Chains A and B, each alone.
Chain A
Amino acid sequence: MTSSTFSFFKAASRWSKNHKFFLTSFGVLAGGGSSIIYALEQSIHASNDAAHVAKQKWNHNGWFDTLDHASVRRGWEVYKNVCAACHSVEYLAYRELVGVCLTENEAKAEAAEQMIEDGPDETGAMFKRPGKLSDLIPKPYPNEEAARYANNGAYPPDLTYITQARIDGENYIFSLLTGYMDPPAGVVLAENQHFNPYFPGGAIGMAQALYDEIIEYEDGTPATQSQCAKDVVTFLKWCAEPEHDTRKLFAMKAFTILGVLNLVVWYLHRHYWSVMKTRKIFQSPKSLFKK
């Protein structure tokens, strides 16, 4: 074998020591990092013995489908009558509900029903006052410790961004809310634990919250368990993505305009480059023709 056989490898022999060191470290770090991320992701899935959640046909699933605001309104009713006993939506303010699922007067009235701590007043003491539109929705527990103490050590998570915070958020929450069942034979639960196959581990501190007719909807919709679950998930979806409807409208405009621009730019590119691309080039060295 001659040395020219290895010309491909000879490129590396010309690299400086630093160059080689840098490239080697980069390769090791990139490869190692990817492996770690992959391993972590796999270990999550491996530890997850939960049942697979069913894909529901949410009516905001399409590219250009808005949330169903009647459902958001019912979901708010479910949240405030059922979920709010344990779960907070601490980043949501009453004013944000205006024009989404409540009118301004309704939101004001609902805010005024809550006593919000404010202050300090002129004596330096905190005081309670009726809520205003600018107030955040009050939390059921003052802090995490109180929440854990009241729930046997389990912490009811904040629900503001919960659909984003769980894998396949909407479907998972729907399945979780409707998936309570008696524990199968052999599964032993601790006191105050409940069995839910969709919850990793199966034993969940939260009791079944939604039953048929647990609340009465103001608009007369039959409040079945799945209806309540669907509505509250739609509400939570809005809560986590309040820009949802605007975003999809913007997407629609962007697709339209960029679609047109794409065609136009294709044509102009071809037009301006046609001069360059249709040239025939041949050499006429002086030595040959200009003697």
Chain B
Amino acid sequence: MFRNIQLNGNIANAVKGCTEVVATTSTKAPFAGKSPKQVLPTKPIFLTNYNLQSTLLSKKALTPVTTTQVRLVHTDFKVPDYTAYRRDSVKNPSASNRDTFEKRNAFTYMVLGTAVTGTMFCAKAVVHKFVLSMAPAADVLALASIEVNLNEIPEGKNATIKWRGKPLFVRHRTSAEIQIEQNTSLSELRDPEDDSVRVQKPEWLVIIGVCTHLGCVPIANAGEWGGYYCPCHGSHYDAAGRIRKGPAPSNMEVPPYKFIDDNTLLVG
């Protein structure tokens, strides 16, 4: 054991983290019969007193310096204690870790499952909020539909109401008008649509008051058919809002509407 050790100058760095005594210049032990080739350091450093003092850890630690032995055992080196990181089930040295493997794994997987579930809950809430922000605002929605009080519209009159920025015609038709419109044959019409398709209740005609030609607002109770007359380019509509004469290509549009009760109409 007590052989001369040969150290190079970097040994001090090398032994810092090492807890065992290291026999340096470890060459293979010579076997009988076959002697291995000796590899010698190219430039041996002679272990003189002066040499060791200048290369090893510190002068203090190594005094008195002998040339026969240098012990590099560091008993003050603290091995870190990782017990806190170990699970209780594997702390018992006489029990097999394999017995509790599934239990330990199951716990971690269940925690992982909880994490994924919670994250999905949050992600869904966030996505939901962002998607909802694309929906129309409440004030826009409040204007999207209007209620019309039908009591205020006498028979034979046409009420004009603003709805989504457009004029809405609500016409209380007389029985004579109803009679005429219902008996109009489809062959007379440019844009054939039966009266029953255009109204829900025969007395009430609900249309968007925009001429289908160039978007003027027609005048009610005017024109050759007594329905609507567009003053811009002379389109004539009948009392069902159907185009009869003039440049307009199609009938006036019927918006979605329903009767909440006998006197209230909900448009939109």
Contacts and interface: CB of A to CB of B under 8 A. Distances in A.
Decide if A and B are genuine partners. Answer: yes
Given A132-B146, A283-B13, A288-B22, A278 B111 contact: no
B115 A261 contact: yes
Interface residues of B, number: 38
Contacts of B96: none
Interface in B14-61: 14, 16-18, 22, 24-27, 39, 41
B11 interface: yes
B115 A289 contact: no
Interface stretch (A165-173, A188-196, A232-240, A266-274): A266-274
A268 to B, nearest CB: 6
Interface in B42-91: 79-80, 82, 85
Given A257-B121, A261-B118, A282 B17 contact: yes
Nearest to B116: A264
A201 B254 CA distance: 63
A2 interface: no
Contact of A280 (B80, B115, B162): B80
A284 B26 CA distance: 14
A284 B115 contact: no
A150 interface: no
B97 interface: no
B42 to A, nearest CB: 11
A281 B27 CA distance: 25
A96 B24 CA distance: 87
Contacts of A281: 17
A274 B90 CA distance: 14
Contacts, number: 74
A230 interface: no
Contact of A264 (B8, B16, B118, B138): B118
Interface string B88-125: 00000000000000000000100110110011011001
A257 B116 CA distance: 12
Interface string B120-145: 01100100000000000011001100
Contacts of A283: 13-14, 16-17
12 contacts: A95-B142, A132-B146, A257-B118, A265-B115, A267-B108, A268-B115, A277-B85, A278-B82, A282-B17, A287-B10, A288-B22, A288-B24
Interface of B: 8, 10-11, 13-14, 16-18, 22, 24-27, 39, 41, 79-80, 82, 85, 108, 111-112, 114-115, 118-119, 121-122, 125, 138-139, 142-143, 146-147, 160, 162, 217
Q: Which 5 A-B pairs have the closest CB atoms?
A: A282-B17, A134-B142, A278-B82, A264-B115, A261-B118
Given A118-B162, A291-B41, 8 more contacts: A261-B118, A261-B119, A264-B111, A264-B115, A268-B111, A280-B79, A283-B16, A287-B10
